[in-house]
Structure 1
Amino acid sequence: MKTETQKLATPARPLEMNVRFDKAQLLRFQSLIALFLLCLALTMLSDKFLTVSNLWNVLRQISVNICISIGMTLVVLTAGIDLSVGSILALSGAITAGLLKNGIELPTQNLFIGFTILGAILVGILCGTFLGALNGISITRFKVPPFVATLAMLTVARGLTMLWTGGFPISSLGDTFLYLGAGWFLGIPVPVWITTVLVLIAIFITKKTRLGTYIYAIGGNESASRLSGINVKRVKIIVYSIAGALAAIGGLLVTARLDSAQPNAGISYELDSIAAVVIGGTSLSGGRGSIIGTVQGAIIIGVLNNGLVLLDVSPFWQQVVKGLVILLAVIIDKANSSDE
């Protein structure tokens, strides 16, 4: 026979389950809710926001951040971080532009090597992949914390960019290359097409492949993953290599859109990327998150940047606002993690 305490406690269980279910549903759609409220506010504050030309401009701008953020998501899912993506973006874009315009000249050998657009692009992507792999090797082989290893790569890649460009932009890269960043295909900007393909590939990797399973497992419990036979070091090197390659693709889009490789390109891009990942619901502790969530986070950051410009907010205040958004997203992430 139940006691009075048991009788009183029993009816509360369905209510508790409903509360948890409602909270889970809210967390699932929190990015979309935030995006809707942000768009609603900007629509009321500026008549220029909800126009076709501005919306295409926003999508074109966020394409670069989505490229970087896809790689950042994979890294964060393994409980890592990559602060070097902005510098890798700049170096890869500069190398591609330099090879495309000037080629490689070896006076001592009386040799000149010219590059096609495809050849220069492949070299730029390989450069980003190589630098990403170096990050992974530093972290796995030499036990350097991800924060320190990628911070060092940030400085190295930025210095190499300055050396390669001499501190001056590399411009006038041709209409064909410009098409990658500023062209249209079937009424949609080319960068949006490129980003869409990358997003679909990333979703397939995380949801349908063994690599994706390993990435989530390592972020959830690295020790258990290692004991279960997963080659943790190899997976991390692959993940950081992918992040470097995607940063390089972002660099190509930036360079093509501007028709110029700027030595200071990509500065603070890693902050926008991390913000997109966290706002999208990926836990900084690893093991929880999704590519779709990151895309939503990148759209929020892009809309926020665009809205602040339309409202003529000072660039200095823009940095303050974005910093507060990142802090708020991390606080929410920690609160959600503690409740689980």
Structure 2
Amino acid sequence: MTSTTLTGSPAKKAPGFIARIGGQNLSLIGALVVVLALFGSLNGNYLSWNNIQVIGQAVTITGLLAVVQTVVIICGGLDISVGSQAGLASVVSAMAFTSAGSNALAGMGAAVAVGLLVGVVNGVVIVYGRVNPTIATLAGLAAYKGVAQLLSDGRAQGYVLNDSIFIFLARGKIAGLPVMIWILLLVAAAVHVMLKYTDIGRNIYALGGNDTAARLAGISINKYLVSVYGLIGMVAAVAGILLTARTGSGQPVSGSEGLELKAITAAALGGCALKGGKGGIGGTLLAVALLGALENGLTGQNINAFWQNVAQGLLLVVAVVIQQRRSGERAIGLPA
């Protein structure tokens, strides 16, 4: 009797456990374990606590952008300009810091204000200009990068590592964990709570799932979309501030170029349906960790960085193919 109960219990509990975690997340966990085991066997220092922290710090900026990219994709939108927004915020934070007499809070405040402004501009162009989000933010990618280069004359600006606040952001630790990782976890937790446990989150999922039904339900679609893009701009500004802290100066392009592709790849790998209405922060964070572990492992094996770009592109394609297969949608160019 006891034996039957013990053997039967896991079988009953397993489906609920899998449902709570999600098949997509279980796949990511499995892939992450494989990557860690593979590179851990090739490099004795790969699984050391120091290297785990290095991976965590390396993915913080990408992680912040991936978290808000997840929100906008759930809405049914996209933001290709997040990397340029982070670069612009980085330049503004360093230049404002210098202009205000080495005042870190002034630099950070100016960066967040600019981030909010460019995010709202994206939202207004998309909503009121009736421009496709991909086209609007593609234009933003070029425009914000250009503004950052004009402001900085194409060069790194300022030097912030003589300031205790920037030093703390770049090198500080709380409870043995780097501050940068704490910032990512706090932002991710806040966005997760918003999406899962508030009316705002439920309305965001509704917008991406069926915008017509959402409109009929009385949801102000325009207000939500502009607000979401404003949120992206603010979090991108935080990423830009961390970029400034890590590099010691405002970076108009270096360090921010390519971040948009990494953020979209992480969101897609994490289970976001690119047509909207589906996704979550947990899956996105797992995908960010997987990308970071893979990149660190390849770098440790002295594999050319160009191959890392190839791997990243392939992962994005794989993620989209899996989504298409699961959704049952007809492939373009093939008979129904």
SS of the residue aligned with 2:328? helix
Q: Distance in 1 between matches of 2:172 and 2:22?
A: 39
The residue type paired with residue 93 of structure 2 is T
> Within 2, Cα distance between the matches of 1:145 and 1:157?
18
Q: SS of 1:134's equivalent?
A: helix
Structure 2 CA distance for aligned equivalents of residues 28 and 201 of structure 1:
20
Tell me the equivalent position of 1:71: 68
- Out of 89, 93, 96, the position equivalent to 1:92 is 89
**Residue 162 (structure 1) aligns with:** 149
Bigger radius of gyration, 1 or 2?
A: 1
- After the TM superposition, which residues 106-255 of structure 1 pair with which residues of structure 2 at under 5 Å, given as runs? 114=101, 116-173=103-160, 174-176=162-164, 177-255=166-244
SS at match of 1:287: coil
Comparing 229-238 and 260-269, the one that deviates more: 260-269
After TM superposition, where is structure 1 displaced by more than 3 Å over at least 4 residues in a row? 24-28
Report the Cα offset of residue 164 of structure 1.
0.9
Distance 1:284 1:47 in 2: 38
Secondary structure of the residue that 2:84 maps to in structure 1?
helix
Alignment of 1:300-339 (within 5 A): 300-338=290-328
In 2, Cα distance between equivalents of 1:66 and 1:25? 20
Q: State the partner residue of 1:11.
A: none
Residues 1:132 and 1:41: Cα distance change in structure 2 (over 3 Å)? same
Identity of aligned residues (%): 31
**84-93 vs 32-41, which moves further:** 32-41
Q: Is the 8 A contact 2:25 2:286 kept in 1?
A: no
Q: Deviations over 1:179-205 (max 9, x none)?
A: 212222222111011111111111111
User: Secondary structure of 1:260's match?
Assistant: coil
Report the 3-state secondary structure (helix = DSSP H, G, I; strand = E; otherwise coil) of the residue aligned with 2:79.
Answer: coil
Aligned letter for 2:229? Y
Coordinate RMSD, CA, aligned? 1.7
Q: Residue 44 of structure 1 aligns with which residue? A: 41
Amino acid in structure 2 at the alignment position of 1:62: V
Alpha-carbon shift at residue 69 of structure 1 (Å): 0.9
Provide the C-alpha distance between the structure 2 equivalents of 1:319 and 1:171, rounded to a whole number of angstroms.
30
Which residue identity lines up with residue 92 of structure 1 in the other structure? Answer: A
Counterpart amino acid of 1:204?
A: V
1:29 aligned counterpart, secondary structure: helix
Count of residue pairs the alignment pairs up: 309
- Please say if residues 48 and 310 of structure 1, whose CA atoms lie closer than 8 Å, have aligned partners that are also in contact: no
CA distance in 2, matches of 1:82, 1:182: 30
Aligned equivalents of 2:326 and 2:230: distance in 1?
A: 30
Report the TM-score when normalising by structure 1: 0.87
The letter of the residue matching 1:216 is: Y
| AA at the equivalent of 1:244 | G
Cα distance change on mapping 1:160 and 1:30 into 2, 3 Å: same
Secondary structure at 1:261's aligned position in 2?
coil
**3-state DSSP class of the match of 2:154?**
coil
- Which residue in the other structure is 2:10 paired with? none
**Mean alpha-carbon deviation: is it higher for 26-35 or for 51-60?**
26-35
2-side partners of 1:335 and 1:28: how far apart? 17
User: Does the Cα contact within 8 Å between 2:36 and 2:293 map onto a contact in 1?
Assistant: yes
Give the distance between the partners of 1:44 and 1:185, measured in 2 at CA: 30
